[in-house]
Structure 1
Amino acid sequence: MLETGKKRGPKTDNPKTHKMGIKLDEKSKRILDAYCEQEKVSGAEAIRRGIGRLEPDLKK
């Protein structure tokens, strides 16, 4: 039995503490699936990479 407040899984320098749910159209889903298969990454990792590509466009 787990103790209260005890975390599971490996320790990380970049914990994923925010959860989101999204809806995709067919084209976006096909692109995401193809990217994930090509790069051998999860859908979540592919989305994080896409979000990272938005950063240079942010106005400072």
Structure 2
Amino acid sequence: MSQKIGRPTESRKDVKLQIRVDKKTLDDIDACAEALQTNRSEIVRLGIKLVKSELKK
């Protein structure tokens, strides 16, 4: 079998996480994604990294 062809990644993202949010939170995520020209998933990842770095202080 051959490997899947697609964009190379730094780390595999093979775990799916589903969350429930209210409309305001979704609007905030979308606004951040648009401002940073990225997607919702990346905004959530950045948010997690930010919280984690704050916890280490």
* TM-score bracket for this pair, using the shorter chain length: 0.7 to 0.9
User: Could you tell me the TM-score, scaled by structure 1's length?
Assistant: 0.74
Describe how 1:1-60 pairs up with structure 2 within 5 A. Answer: 3=1, 6-56=3-53, 57=55
Aligned length: 55
Larger radius of gyration: 1
Deviations 1:2-46 (A, max 9, x none): x3x733423323111211011110110110111111111000011
Q: Which runs of 4+ in 1 moved over 4 A?
A: none
Matched AA of 2:44: I
User: Could you tell me the TM-score, scaled by structure 2's length?
Assistant: 0.77
Identity value in percent: 27
Instruction: Select the structure that is richer in helix.
Output: 2
Matched AA of 1:55: K
State how far apart, in whole Å, the 2-side matches of 1:14 and 1:45 are.
13
Gaps of 5+ in 1: none
RMSD: 1.7
